[in-house]
Amino acid sequence: MNASNFVEGVDFSLYLILAISVFFLVGITAVMIYFLFRYRKKNNPVATNISHNNTLEIVWTVIPAILVLIMFWYGWTGYRPMLKAPEDAMEINATGQMWKWTFEYPNGKVSDTLVVPIDEAVKLNLFSKDVLHSLYIPAFRIKQDVVPGSEKMMWFTAQKKGTFDILCAEYCGQLHSYMLSTVKVVDRAEYDNWLAAESSPADEHPGLTLMKRNACLSCHTQDGTRLVGPSLKGLMGKTETVIVDGQEKEITIDREYLLNSIREPNAEIVKGFQPNLMPKLPLTEEELNQIADYIETIK
């Protein structure tokens, strides 16, 4: 069984064209090499001027023309079904933002990985929070750019159980190659269980949940390693240099500073890091405080 309903159409057009290509490549190369030796100066001291041959010209115009029309046709028939999702497809919102995918299910459940039931049409509504991304599932042979400011969609029916890679295929900045996730194909019962399960375990700090949901952790680590953003380890009470309106300033990190740097990321830039990178997120005061509470606990 193929991994998705599109594998057949895509692979057929791909391998059909490759086969025709190999035929022409081998054929032409062989003829070329044969002529090269057969008509070497040694074997054929006097050349013949043959200026043209209209029959041949027509033959090698018409045959490729027919072949490319065939190629076009299978390309199109493999592609056409991708354009429109079936009416009854279940819908999931997929959001791309710098270096993280987020999937939101109709019941409100939010997840970093995509979990879908087997043999059911799934439609992903695609949104971007910042720049272009492209959601690519090689095993399913599908790819769709995610464009800020407009809603795109893609759909598929998974036909094989298992876990497959999700990659970002449109260049989106520094950590483009780390914008990975997975899609897990399970049967309906398992899917229902998973969907019903509480999204954040009770023992997880609500601040951490919020941070996961807002992709903070794709730029900030909790263990001191540096990504594009400074690590959040031991932030409270640390002294560091920030740049405000082009001026360097020594500060000691306190709660007020923490809240401000999430509210207005560009107001004070930590020295050595890029401005304009960290998104300004629509968080409520309560959520902000929960996040700050959690950051204070990262020692």
Rule CB under 6 A: which residues touch ligand HEA?
20, 24, 28, 64, 67-68
Quick one: which H or E segment has residue 190? helix 188-196
Cross-strand partners of 126: 94, 152
Selection from ligand CUA, other proteins, ligand HEC, none that 215 binds (CB < 5 to 8 A by kind) is ligand HEC
Q: Nearer Cβ to ligand CUA, position 13 or 181?
A: 181
For residue 233, the one-letter residue type is: K
Specify the stretch interacting with other proteins by CB under 8 A; choose among 47-55, 190-198, 241-249, 250-258: 47-55
- 163, 138 contact by CB (below 8 A): no
Cα(129)–Cα(101) distance, rounded to whole angstroms? 11
Q: Kindly identify the residues of this chain, within the stretch 119-138, that bind other proteins according to CB under 8 A.
A: 130-132, 134, 136, 138
285 φ/ψ angles, rounded to the nearest 5 degrees: -60, -40
CB-based contacts of 223, cutoff 8 Å, min separation 6: 231, 233
Give me 23's structure tokens: 């035929």
Selection from ligand CUA, other proteins, ligand HEC, none that 96 binds (CB < 5 to 8 A by kind) is ligand CUA
Cα(148)–Cα(164) distance, rounded to whole angstroms? 26
Which residue among 47, 189, 196, 197 contacts other proteins (CB under 8 A)?
47
Based on C-alpha coordinates, what's the Rg of the chain? 28
Q: Does 193 bind other proteins (CB under 8 A)?
A: no
For residue 96, the one-letter residue type is: G
Cα(121)–Cα(74) distance, rounded to whole angstroms? 23
Nearest approach in angstroms of CB 153 to ligand CUA is 17
Q: Kindly identify the residues of this chain, within the stretch 207-266, that bind ligand HEC according to CB under 6 A.
A: 211, 214-216, 218-220, 228-230, 235, 240, 253, 258, 261-262, 265
Which spans of this chain sit near ligand CUA (rule: CB under 6 A)? 96, 133, 168, 170-172, 176, 179
Which spans of this chain sit near ligand HEC (rule: CB under 6 A)? 98, 211, 214-216, 218-220, 228-230, 235, 240, 253, 258, 261-262, 265, 269-270, 273-274, 277-279, 281, 291
